[in-house]
């Protein structure tokens, strides 16, 4: 027992010596390289300060300016004046296209890409609609499904069935909810049915009946399901 305790004390002493040695080595390194370490710290502080200054003194104010300049274009969009919203919303305000070009990299410019895509879709310019919608990076849980549904509409108009179906399906599975999901399921079902895929159409309609009985499109889904040969 005494021998084991002696061995344990010896191990503890060796550990303490190692720790003290490591500390002394670290102190020696710091003393020998103090100027280099201070330079690294100074560089880090400088970079961090630059990032914060860019964010608070440039990026945020620039985004605020873009948001303010875009408000008139959004008002035109809400009135279905899509051409004006894109290029000439009125007064000194900027249209969505100018916001995208002049305020690139801001959240406002990103939002303007979504509005521009939907505007071009409504104006029948489907290629431009696809370009701008693909440039849009959703930051919320509402517009991702709307983006995919709009892309589905654009590809459908261009006759690209595979991409239309792919995007319609994404619209039905992205952030499911009781409002847009059943509407997108109905859109998917109708498109599949019109293109001869009765089984796929029935599955889309059935999901509305099973999962969204309180949806505003429930009655239509039931009607189309019967027409497609479902129950």
pLDDT of residue 55: 41
Whichever domain contains 174, its CATH number is 1.25.40.10
**Which residues are CB-contacts of 57 (< 8 A; sequence separation ≥ 6)?**
none
Is the pLDDT score of 97 beyond 70? Answer: yes
Q: Which of 137, 153, 180 is the last residue of a domain?
A: 137
Q: Which of 117, 137, 157 is the last residue of a domain?
A: 137
Total count of domains within the chain: 2
**pLDDT band, residue 229 (cuts 50/70/90):** confident
* Average pLDDT of the chain to the nearest whole number: 85
Give this prediction's pTM.
0.75
Same domain, 150 and 118: no
How far is 191 from 196, CA to CA, in rounded Å? 9
Same domain, 160 and 78: no
Same domain, 195 and 102: no
Same domain, 184 and 118: no
How far is 20 from 18, CA to CA, in rounded Å? 6
Cβ atoms of residues 175 and 211 within 8 Å: no
What DSSP character marks residue 197?
A: -
**Which residues are CB-contacts of 88 (< 8 A; sequence separation ≥ 6)?**
95
Same domain, 130 and 158: no
The better pLDDT of the pair 59, 195 is held by: 195
Domain residues for the domain of 128 are 34-137
Distance of CA 156 to the CA centre of its chain: 23
Same domain, 125 and 95: yes
pLDDT in tens, 134-182: 999 998 999 999 999 999 999 999 999 999 999 999 999 999 999 999 9
Same domain, 117 and 42: yes
Compute the C-alpha angle 198/204/210, nearest 5°: 130
Q: Which of 122, 137, 152 is the last residue of a domain?
A: 137
| Domain assignment present for 104 | yes
**pLDDT band, residue 18 (cuts 50/70/90):** low
| Domain assignment present for 18 | no
Same domain, 172 and 119: no
pLDDT of residue 190: 97
The HSE-up count of residue 168 (CA atoms within 13 Å, CB side) is: 25
The better pLDDT of the pair 38, 123 is held by: 123
């Amino acid at each position: 027992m005494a021998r084991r305790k002696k061995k344990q004390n010896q191990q503890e002493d060796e550990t303490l010596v190692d720790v003290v040695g490591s500390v002394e080595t670290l102190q020696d390194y710091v003393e020998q390289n103090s100027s280099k370490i201070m330079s690294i710290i100074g560089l880090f502080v400088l970079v961090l300060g630059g990032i914060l200054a860019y964010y608070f003194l440039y990026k945020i104010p620039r985004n605020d300016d873009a948001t303010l300049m875009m408000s008139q274009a959004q008002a035109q969009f809400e009135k279905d004046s899509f051409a004006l919203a894109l290029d000439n919303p009125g007064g000194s305000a900027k249209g969505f296209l100018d916001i995208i070009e002049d305020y690139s990299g801001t959240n406002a410019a990103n939002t303007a890409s979504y509005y521009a895509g939907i505007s071009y879709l409504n104006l029948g310019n489907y290629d431009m609609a696809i370009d701008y919608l693909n440039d849009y990076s959703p930051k919320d849980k509402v517009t991702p499904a709307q983006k995919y549904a709009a892309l589905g509409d654009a590809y459908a108009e261009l006759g690209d069935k595979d991409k239309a179906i792919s995007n319609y399906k994404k619209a039905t599975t992205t952030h499911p909810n009781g409002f847009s999901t059943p509407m997108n399921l109905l859109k998917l079902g109708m498109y599949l049915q019109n293109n001869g895929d009765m089984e796929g159409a029935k599955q889309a309609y059935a999901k509305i009946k099973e999962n969204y009985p309180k949806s505003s499109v429930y009655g239509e889904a039931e009607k189309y399901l019967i027409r497609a040969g479902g129950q």
